[in-house]
């Protein structure tokens, strides 16, 4: 079985290329927080950015089976991920510094099957609510770490000589 290292797997099977889930009526939406009232496409840039829970799991290196497209996460983080805060250290310049870093979009969110099940973008795309520990719900950016759903304390940084095959883990999914 041949596997290639990647930040952004290309062959993953689609989860739900289907249209966004049905939304509540306009009246009901007025009482809902934006992530329940809006589709991913309807969010403002600020709302979109705030939807990221800061778990850091999508920034882990992955191994993609070249034949089947099956994706395995590793406990090795992209070199630009701060493994303490789980945030990108050079977010504004990331595309220049790490060319294979891909900007998540509503369409991409719906077209890959490897985003962690806890990922807020995936949850909204599937018509689900956020978990209690999401900073938008708790009001505290630490709760994603306190709940044990982030990469904090579990990963090492990408560097030369690390064998990703030895670092495969299942918890990020
Ligand atoms: S997996 Fe989703 S919620 Fe977590 S850091 Fe990545 S984009 Fe943000
Ligand atoms: S460049 Fe930044 S946003 Fe992109 S994968 Fe690396 S840490 Fe994540």
Annotated domain spans of the chain: 3-12+26-157
Q: Of 136, 134, 116, 135, give the one whose Cα is nearest residue 126.
A: 116
Mean pLDDT value of segment 45-63: 97
What does the DSSP 8-state code read for residue 138?
H
Residue 153 Cα to ligand 2 midpoint, Å, equals 17
Locus of tokens 């990647």: 6
* pLDDT over 70 percentage in the chain: 91
Q: How far is the CA of 59 from the centre of ligand 1 (A)?
A: 8
Residue nearest to atom 8 of ligand 2 (CA): 59
Nearest ligand 2 atom to alpha carbon 90? 2
Residue to mutate, 59, 95, 156, ligand 2, most ligand atoms under 8 Å from C-beta:
59
Q: How far is the CA of 16 from the centre of ligand 1 (A)?
A: 18
User: How is residue 88 written in tokens?
Assistant: 């990108």
Sign of dihedral through CA atoms 25, 26, 32, 35?
positive
* pLDDT value of residue 18: 53
pLDDT of residue 10: 72
pLDDT score recorded for residue 102: 87
> d(Cα 64, Cα 67) in Å, to the nearest integer?
9
Q: Which atom of ligand 1 is nearest to the CA of 104?
A: 7
Q: Quick one: pLDDT at residue 14?
A: 47
Mean pLDDT of all residues in 16-44: 80
What residue ranges line ligand 1, CB within 6 angstroms?
52-58, 104, 116, 119-121
For 47, other C-beta atoms within 10 Å of its C-beta total 15
Number of H helices, E strands in the chain: 8, 7
Report the nearest atom of ligand 1 relative to the CA of 52. 8
pLDDT digits (tens, 9 = 90+) for 160-172: 999 999 999 999 9
Residues 6+ apart with CB under 8 A from 114: 9, 12, 62, 71, 73, 173
What 3-state class would DSSP assign to 166? helix
């Amino acid at each position: 079985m041949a596997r290639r290292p990647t930040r952004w797997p290309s062959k993953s099977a689609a989860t739900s290329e289907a249209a966004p889930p049905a939304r509540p009526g306009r009246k009901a939406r007025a009482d809902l927080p934006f992530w329940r009232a809006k589709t991913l496409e309807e969010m403002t840039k600020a709302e979109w950015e705030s939807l990221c829970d800061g778990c850091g799991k999508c920034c882990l290196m992955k191994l993609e089976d070249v034949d089947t497209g099956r994706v395995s996460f590793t406990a090795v983080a992209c070199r630009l991920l701060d493994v303490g805060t789980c945030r990108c250290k050079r977010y504004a310049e990331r595309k220049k510094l790490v060319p294979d870093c891909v900007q998540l979009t509503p369409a991409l969110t719906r077209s890959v099957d490897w985003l962690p099940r806890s990922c807020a973008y995936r949850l909204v795309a599937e018509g689900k609510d956020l978990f209690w520990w999401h900073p938008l719900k708790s009001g505290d950016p630490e709760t994603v770490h306190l709940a044990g759903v982030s990469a904090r304390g579990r990963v090492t940084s990408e560097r030369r000589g690390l064998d990703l095959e030895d670092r495969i883990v299942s918890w990020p999914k």
